[in-house]
Structure 1
Amino acid sequence: MLSWTRAWRLPYGGLEPSRTSLSRLPVAPSSSGRGGAEPRPLPLSYKLLDGEAARPALVFLHGLFGCKTNFNSIAKALAQQTGRRVLTVDARNHGDSPHSPDMSYEAMSQDLQDLLPQLGLVPCVLIGHSMGGKTAMLLALQRSSSLPQPELVERLVAVDISPVETTSVSDFPAYMAAMRAINIPDEVPRSCARKLVDKQLSSLIQDMAVRQFLLTNLVEADGRFVWRVNLDALAQHVDKILAFPPRQESYPGPTLFLLGGNSDFVHPSHHAEIKRLFPRAQTQTVPNAGHWIHADRPQDFMAAIRGFLA
């Protein structure tokens, strides 16, 4: 039988949300108190599906503006199909995880290096989409050699992302600007709030599917509608999020780069860097899928994961 486990969450009831950032979660300190050399891990919100402990768990990391529920149906299906434990996680400044001014990939990797051993999910199969894919790649590279517990990542799946800068193909800065420009009057009824925000977003974002995705971040707190993502931190670090930390070491484990056939995020010019950092990398393209492969072609996405595990 499948069962859910939920992480401890920081409470936000009774806190006055910031009217400028439209955020609702308390802010955590950004350093560890050890000279700031290592990011301080945050207690991430997660859901864990039970399965066989003998085999590495599947760990799903969402992309920018996403959350763990993006993978709900896929997590349930893969838990049933593979018999493995499946973990879905909210990244810092997303979903129900705490907010922090630090939005670096090093910090997001540190959060997972703290969480995964606590849950007994080492080693694991890391499956990261977009921003989550870059976090997964960095974690695999950091734990690939010379450090304690190099066995943290048994194998790696990067979903429609590569270990290079993706600024030229990303509309995420425009999405942030549109979200920050939203004006939601107080006491707007729930039935009107989403329509009002969607109408305001539509002047800058024509794609209805993208607007619907962004609207999953609109939540009600203390009678007001707010963005649950930490837009201030995301906007401040957007250049870092679209880049990738330079690394010299390589990851020796099996790696799959799963690409959307209709997406431009992974360009042929990226392949040399992919092979340098991930010498055992294979690529697979899902036809008729855009950047959000798991949403566009969920059955093909799961079949690719199962094939890679086999």
Structure 2
Amino acid sequence: MTLNYQISGQGSPVVLLHGLFGSLENLGGIKRELENQFQIIAIDLPDHGRSPHSQAFSYVHYSEQVLQLLNSLDLTNVTLLGHSMGGKVAMSLAMHAPNQVAQLIVADIAPVAYHDRHSGIFAGLNQVDLPTLQDRRQADAQMAVHIKEPGVRQFLLKSLAQEQGKWHWRFNLDLLQRDYSKITDWPFSALRYDGPTLFIKGGQSDYLQAAYKDTIAAQFPRSQGRIIADAGHWLHAEKPAAFCKIVRDFIRANETN
């Protein structure tokens, strides 16, 4: 399996890992902001974007696939930046291959298990009748039965593709739905990563909570946190300038230490 990726810019390597139902395009704004100072490696995770589909979900498998790609590119001492599910992949990779990771940046996710947050999205995706679909407008209307937020539907529609006259989701919907409990889980609470780590929280998001502080400190003893006010779970898209400044400052601070 070879993951789809894009490389741009020059400098120390920064690896971007997107979240559930997404693709490397979701972090395109961050890539454009940072590629004038860093070498950016944007990756489609397995079962997403233009990367191959897998037989089962596991964070070990996902992080191993990313590590294999980095090894094939002769990249070491990378900065890992992951959002949401991609943040969990980044944390897993850092814990399992710490010598490959110079520093870790986790956007709005914690190393904990979460309850179901996507039942409405799965219902909306399953509402789309792909064999009879005429266009994206029809898909949007079908999803709207279960997904009321236009922005969420537009995000999902970015992964709707048509090839040889047939519509399909680029992400592996069947697998993601079947293995959803593994996506929300966190099986590595006994592991730790001792490198510099930054958790960035959206001020209006409840994914990163104060109650997780001790749990985070136990697994990432050199971690620190920043909050972006007036931003939700999609903090990198809502406040890109603030997000990128925090990222730049953290990387530069650790490069000079």
TM range (shorter): over 0.9
**Residue identity matched to 2:111:** P
**Equivalent position SS for 2:191:** coil
CA contact (8 A) 1:62 1:91 kept: yes
2:62 alignment partner in structure 1: 108
Runs of 4 or more, structure 1, over 6 Å off, are none
- Are 1:203 and 2:145 matched, yes or no? yes
Match of 2:81 among 118, 127, 132: 127
Question: Which residue of 154, 157, 168 maps to 1:212?
Answer: 154
Give the match for residue 269 of structure 1: 211
Match of residue 36 from structure 1: none
Matched, 1:85 2:58: no
The aligned residue for residue 173 of structure 1 is 119
**Other structure's SS at 1:106 match:** helix
Report the CA distance between 1:184 and its aligned residue: 3.5
Cα distance, 1:176 vs. partner? Answer: 1.6
- Structure 1-normalised TM-score? 0.79
Q: Does 1:156 align with 2:104?
A: yes
Q: SS at 1:288's partner residue?
A: coil
2: CA distance between counterparts of 1:185 and 1:254? 48
State the 1:74 CA deviation: 1.8
Alignment of 1:44 with 2:3, yes or no, is: yes
Contact 2:78 2:103 in 1 (8 A): yes
Query: 2:24 aligned with 1:68, yes or no?
Result: yes
Output aligned runs, 1:183-198, within 5 Å.
183-186=129-132, 188=134, 193-198=135-140
1:185: Cα distance to partner? 4.6
Please identify the structure whose Cα radius of gyration is greater. 1
Question: Are 2:17 and 1:58 equivalent residues in the alignment?
Answer: no
CA distances 1:72-94 after superposition (whole Å, capped 9, x unpaired): 232122011x2x21000000110
SS at match of 2:35: helix
**In the superposition, relative to structure 1, how do residues 257 and 119 fare at CA in structure 2: closer, same or farther (>3 Å)?**
same
Aligned residues: 252
Paired with 1:46 and 1:90, the residues of 2 have a C-alpha distance of: 6
Q: Which amino acid aligns with 1:176?
A: F
Which protein is richer in helix relative to its size?
2
Q: For 1:113, what is the secondary structure of its paired residue?
A: helix
1:230-261, Cα deviation, whole Å (9 max, x unpaired): 11110111001011113423211110000001
Partner SS state of residue 33, structure 2: helix
Equivalent position of 2:255 in the other structure: none
Task: Report the residue type matching 1:239 in the other structure.
Answer: S
Match of 1:136 among 68, 74, 90: 90
Structure 1 unaligned blocks of 5 or more: 1-41, 145-150
Structure 1: distance between partners of 2:102 and 2:171: 30
Q: Distance in 1 between matches of 2:138 and 2:230?
A: 32
The residue matched to 2:16 in structure 1 has which SS? strand
Structure 2, unaligned runs of 5 or more: 253-257
Query: 1:201-240 deviations in whole A, cap 9, x for unaligned?
Result: 1111111111110111111011022111111110111001
One-letter code of the match for 2:89? T
Find the counterpart in structure 2 of residue 182 from structure 1: 128
Question: Which residue of structure 2 aligns with residue 243 of structure 1?
Answer: 185
What does the per-residue CA deviation read over 1:8-54, in whole Å, with 9 as the maximum and x for residues that have no partner? xxxxxxxxxxxxxxxxxxxxxxxxxxxxxxxxxx21000011413xx
Do the aligned partners of 2:24 and 2:43 also contact (CA within 8 Å) in 1?
A: yes
Q: Distance in 2 between matches of 1:125 and 1:197?
A: 37
In 1, Cα distance between equivalents of 2:188 and 2:100: 21
Check conservation: 1:259, 1:285, Cα contact below 8 A. yes
